[in-house]
Each structure stands twice: as C-alpha cells, then as structure tokens.
Amino acid sequence: MRQAGRYLPEFMEIRNKNPNFIELCLNPELTQKITLQPLKRFKLDAAIIFSDILLIPYGLNQKVEFKKNFGPFLGDLNLNEILKLDEVDFVKKIYPVYKAINLVSNNKLTKNKNTIGFIGAPWTLMVYMINKQSPKLKLDDNFFKDNFLINRILKILDKFLKIHVKNQIDNGAEVIQIFDSWAGLLNDKDLPNYIYIPTLSLVEFVKSLKIPVICFPKGIKNYKTYCEIVKPDAISIDYNVKAEEIRKNIDIPIQGGLDPKVLLTDKDCLKKEAKRYLDIFKDHPYIFNLGHGVLPETDPNMIDYLVKMVKDY
C-alpha cells in the first residue's frame, strides 16, 4: 500500500532531485533504493516494487505525465498506434521495471522476504486511458458511448498486462497484486463486463504461473461476490468496509483495512484501531495492512510503532 515512498524524508530527497516521475520509475538503481528504504527502517515482511500502474499506458505509447498537485495527466488515445505496437517494443520501453525487480529480489535485505510485483486492473487502466486523468468521484456521461473502443482497449490491456506480469515474475516477483482503484465507480450491472471477466482472466493467468495473486477492488460494494467470481488467493479490503462482515463471509486470506488517516492521529488511537482489525481477524488468515496508501504527511515514527505493535500482537 505505497509503503515505498512519499512519507519518508529519504524518499523525498530522491524525489526532489528527480522531478520526472516516469523517468524515476524507469531508473532501476533508484527504484531499487526507494523500494528498500522502508525495509531498512521497519520490520516489514515484504517489499513491493516502487513503480506505477500507469507505466502500462506509457508502454503502449500513450503520453503519461504527473503534474504537481494535480496527479496523472495522459495524452490523447490513438488506438491505431496501440494496435501497431508489438510485444518487443512494449517490453523494451518498460524493461527497467523488470531490472529493478531483479535487483530487489536479489538484495540481501529481501532475503527471507517476498518481493511483490503489481499491475493496475484493466478497468482502472481503461478509465485513465480514456478519461486522461483521475476521475475523482464520477465518470463523464459520455464515457460508455464508444463500445467498440472500450472492448478494444480491454482486449489490448489483457494481452499486455499478461506480458507485464510474466516479466515481473521472471525477474523475481513472488506475489502479484492487482490494484483496481476505480472499481467503486461502477454500478452492479456493469461489474461483470468491466471488473469480473477482465480481472478473472488475469487472476487465472497469474495462478497458471504458480504465483499467488492478491486483488484490491477499492470501493466495491460486494467483496463476497467478487471473491466467488474472480477467485484471488487473497483479497485486500479498503477502509470503508465492515471488517466483521468480511470475516463472516469470506474464506480466503484477507489483507488490509486500516484507514491511513488513523496514522495521522496519536499512538493510543492507532493502537486501538489496529487492535480492532487484529482482533476481528485473529482466527482468520490475515495480512495486516492499510486500506489504501500511506499519506505523505505521515510521521515515520507512527509506522514504526504500528509495525512493532502488529509484530507483538
């Protein structure tokens, strides 16, 4: 959950010297350094590669840039250009990501720890590619009007996400997490076409490579149905979910749940809230984590306190 990064002063130091975010993600040495920074500070059980889900549209020759205080901004979508793209060119363009995973997985700091690779889910990536920026709370009314475009993009993403997953695994990723950040934008009737079917295709592919896969469909209303259809090895829950219901309805391992904003309070409040999750899931396979990414203004000492508290539970 964005453990590498924004709240650590040593990350900010690198970031300030490297204002181009995409170039930073494509620098294997710096990517390795950033990925390992939290492991040097805290007793974490895994490293998640410092990267971004939008390296996929970037690899597909759509312009991607990150504007300060705005977030990602994507260029026009040229379907003909994307259709001409072959696998070799795509891999070449984002190859540094795989090199970084290789460096991380072979580093002495990750001995006896898993290296996690990740991708964005097809729906979330498509939202960015068509919308050209974060949709924030709702999609443009015209979003679904071009059915041909939507189906073509989903097909293209299925192909290239599988290539991306395979290359991450070949270079040492031992777990793949699928982030569906904008799953909560859809109505129930649209979930099969845009979430269940495309994500299931990727989950089955990762499993065929004998690697566990975690899914994070943020904002989705019914995690139980999602798990029954998509069948990930573990499910990551967001902080708006009723943890007791998840515990009752879902058999597979659960990850996450804690609201990152709790890290901005005090230690008593943090302990109480973290303990609530640990108590709920104490008789269930559970990976302690947050229900979304660490906020930039988080004090690293609070993370340290939280990690030790979880380890001592």
- Tokens encoding 198: 């495309």
**Mean pLDDT across 177-202:** 96
Give the start-end residues of each E strand in 217-307.
Answer: 234-237, 254-256, 286-287
In degrees, rounded to 5, the angle at the alpha carbon of residue 299 between the alpha carbons of residues 219 and 19 is: 75
Residue 170 has pLDDT above 90, yes or no: yes
The owner of tokens 């891999």 is 91
Torsion of CA 178, 181, 183, 184, to 10 degrees: 150
Domains of the chain: 9-232 (3.20.20.210)
CA–CA dist 200, 202 (Å, integer): 5
Residues 198 and 155: their CA atoms lie apart, in Å, by 9
Q: Is 203:226 a contact under the CB 8 Å cutoff?
A: no
Q: Kindly indicate the confidence band of residue 3, based on its pLDDT and cuts at 50, 70 and 90.
A: low
What amino acid occupies position 149? L
Q: Give the C-alpha distances (Å, rounded to integers) separating 163 from 40, 188, 219.
A: 31, 30, 27
Residue 1 has pLDDT above 80, yes or no: no
175 φ, ψ (degrees, to nearest 5): -145, 145
pLDDT tens per residue, range 155-164: 999 999 999 9
User: pLDDT per residue over 105-133, tens digit each?
Assistant: 999 999 999 999 999 999 999 999 999 99
Which pLDDT belongs to residue 304? 97
Average pLDDT over residues 143-149: 90
Q: For all residues of the chain together, what is the average pLDDT? A: 95
Give 138's pLDDT tier (boundaries 50, 70, 90).
confident
Model confidence pLDDT, tens digit, residues 82-96: 999 999 999 999 999
Q: What is the mean pLDDT of residues 146-153?
A: 93
Mean pLDDT across 32-37: 96
Helix, strand or coil for residue 146? coil
pLDDT digits (tens, 9 = 90+) for 236-260: 999 999 999 999 999 999 999 999 9
Q: Put residue 62 in one of left, alpha, beta given phi > 0 → left and psi -120 to 50 → alpha.
A: beta
